[in-house]
Structure 1
Amino acid sequence: MTASTRIRPPLVGLGLVTVAFLAYALPPYLGLDPARSRVPTRSGTWFHYPLLVTHIFLGTAVLVTAVLQLWPWLRQRHPEVHRWSGRIYVFAAIPAGLAALAVAPLGAAGLNQRAANTMLALLWLGTTVAGYVMARRRRYAQHREWMVRSFALCFSIVVNRLWTTVCVAVFVPDPSDAVALQQAIGVGTWMSWLVNLLIAEWWLQHTRHRRKTRRATLSSPVPAGT
């Protein structure tokens, strides 16, 4: 296995974190029992739990296929598997994003959290659709960039609890302060996808610069006498 196709440590780490997250987050919803939901259901909104479960089940497929999409060896050695896993990602992410968009205004932690989740759902849908459109037009460089952004937004759910824990520890000295707690949860929700998206944009800029440098080096004339 060459250096360009081997499984890199960051990808291994991402895969392990994803498996651990799903092992923790998924079981309460397998029995379809609203009483076991970790997300409070607002009274009078019978559709909240069905949409939440739809989002979670489709989101599971999205997270798994996203890890596969980021694996260079699979993309290079088995392009057909890469393409099919990409299709599964897109056609699971779109209804999962729509379900998230529908339940975002029902968030129990107040307006700040609802705004953050609504914006996340809109951006996730937008980047995913843009990536799919670019692939259909065979503009593969743009396709990869849009899908990197989509993956970054997708994995925000994995780091959400970490950011929320940090924000509560920093901003809520009094655990009985319900208003401060809601605001901290909202800030954690914003951070969970904003930081991911900023890292993705930095990485895209870095790789663009590296490609330009490589092309410039390859196109440079070789000095006479060498």
Structure 2
Amino acid sequence: MTQNLDRIDAPTTPRIRPGRPPEGKKPLWRRPWIVPLFIFSVIYIAITALPYLNRETAPLMPHEGFSLYYPALIAHIGVATIALLTAIFQVWPWLRRTYPAVHRWGGRVYVVTTLIAGALGLIIVPFAPPVGKLGVTIATLLWITFSVIGYIRIRQRRYAEHRRFMLYAFAMVMNNFWGSIIVMVGMQLPFEIDGNYYLEAARWVGWVGNLMAVQWWLYRTAGRPVR
């Protein structure tokens, strides 16, 4: 007979590595990645999003016959920004354990903004260039799917599955960073390569690589208790 381990509430004793404090007891300074990631995200958003605020000079795709394209694009950028910045704090262990109510409400904000931003993204993606369109469509659908499943799992109190799918969703929402890096670095290389290859890679490598990294992390932390 099998048991659903996600529903077991009995306390477990975490494995403690020699020379390291127990999981959940690390001081704030032992997790220095949140602040740099947040700052980097804000800078990235400012660089990539601010040019779209001026409709006269914004690098818009052709959208003849769709008068709501620009408002939908601006709304997508704004709501997706909230989802991205909220997601960073949602994966912060210290905040989740110290202020669980903040984590719960942050999760609700994240899911709502993800659904809105994802829906708007699917509306405007038909006007995107053919290069990379399939990759960005799949990434958007997976982002929405992972976020919804993660929300459903926490409502069912299936904590391990909630953690897994929300980490998958985090991988998706953070994928654009790698795409921009690929394009910027690729265009600087002394090789005569069609820029479309970089643009196509930018729509795939980011989220595929992030998902692989998340799965590696899940395997690595499989023995830790989920609280």
The two structures have a TM-score, normalised by structure 1, of 0.80
Residue identity opposite 1:151 in structure 2: F
> Identity over the aligned pairs, expressed in percent?
32
Offset of 1:15 from its aligned partner?
A: 1.4
Partner Cα distance (1:80, 1:211) in 2: 23
What is the aligned residue count?
202
Counterpart-to-counterpart distance in 1, 2:201 and 2:190: 10
Q: Deviations over 1:66-97 (max 9, x none)?
A: 11112112111111111111110000001101
The aligned counterpart of 1:222 is none
> Which protein has the bigger helix share?
1
Give the RMSD, CA atoms, in angstroms.
2.3
Aligned to 1:136: 155
- Are the counterparts in 1 of residues 89 and 95 from structure 2 also a CA contact under 8 Å? yes
CA contact (8 A) 1:41 1:49 kept: no
Paired amino acid for 1:8 = R
Structure 1 position 169, deviation (Å): 4.6
In the alignment, structure 2 segments of 5+ residues that lack a partner are: 1-23
Q: What is the letter of the counterpart of residue 39 of structure 2? A: L
- TM-superposed CA distance for 1:29, in Å, is 3.9
- Structure 2 counterpart of 1:182, which letter? N
- Which secondary structure does the structure 2 equivalent of 1:34 belong to? coil
Equivalent residue number for residue 218 of structure 1: none
* Counterpart in the other structure of 2:3: none
Partner deviation per Cα, 1:162-194 (whole Å, 9 max, x = no partner): 0222344569616xxxxx322321122111211
Question: How does the TM-score come out when normalised to structure 2?
Answer: 0.80
| Match in the other structure for 1:21 | 44
Q: State the match for 2:112 in structure 1.
A: 91
Q: Is the 8 A contact 2:82 2:113 kept in 1?
A: yes
Deviation at 1:10, TM superposition (A): 2.4
**Deviation of 1:158 (Å):** 2.6
Q: Distance in 2 between matches of 1:4 and 1:127?
A: 30
AA in 1 matched with 2:219: Q
Structure 1: state its 5+ residue gaps: 175-179, 213-226
Is 1:204 the counterpart of 2:218? The answer is: yes
Asked which structure has the greater RCO (Cα within 8 Å, sep 6+), the reply is 2
